[in-house]
């Protein structure tokens, strides 16, 4: 795996701080970007929570459509 110029320390994609050569074995390289392990974990947790919230909101939106349907607004039944 190639990790850029050998004489240059990479920069974390999240906090933008240098990842020192001594700490590099504890760093994560994903999609061409270096991350501190802690920064990567925080980002992964944030993505997980956002995706879970998105699913909850999609389900809630479906529930709102049912509640606001004409049948529940006091209109006469079509049957």
Token duo for residue 54: 């998105």
Does 15 reside within a domain? yes
Q: Return the closest-CA partner of residue 30 out of 17, 22, 39.
A: 39
Does 21 reside within a domain? yes
- Average pLDDT of the residues of the chain: 78
74: left (phi over 0), alpha (psi -120 to 50) or beta: left
Instruction: Give pLDDT, residue 34.
Output: 93
pLDDT digits (tens, 9 = 90+) for 14-47: 999 999 877 677 899 999 999 999 999 999 999 9
pLDDT digits (tens, 9 = 90+) for 40-55: 999 999 999 999 999 8
Does 79 reside within a domain? no
Does 19 reside within a domain? yes
Domain containing residue 7: 1-70
Does 77 reside within a domain? no
């Amino acid at each position: 795996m190639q990790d850029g110029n050998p004489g240059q320390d990479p920069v974390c994609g999240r906090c933008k701080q240098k990842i020192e050569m001594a700490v590099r074995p504890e760093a994560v390289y994903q999609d061409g970007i270096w991350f501190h392990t802690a920064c990567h974990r925080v980002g992964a947790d944030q993505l997980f929570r956002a995706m879970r919230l998105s699913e909850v909101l999609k389900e809630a939106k479906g529930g709102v459509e049912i509640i606001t349907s004409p049948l529940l607004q006091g209109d006469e039944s079509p049957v």
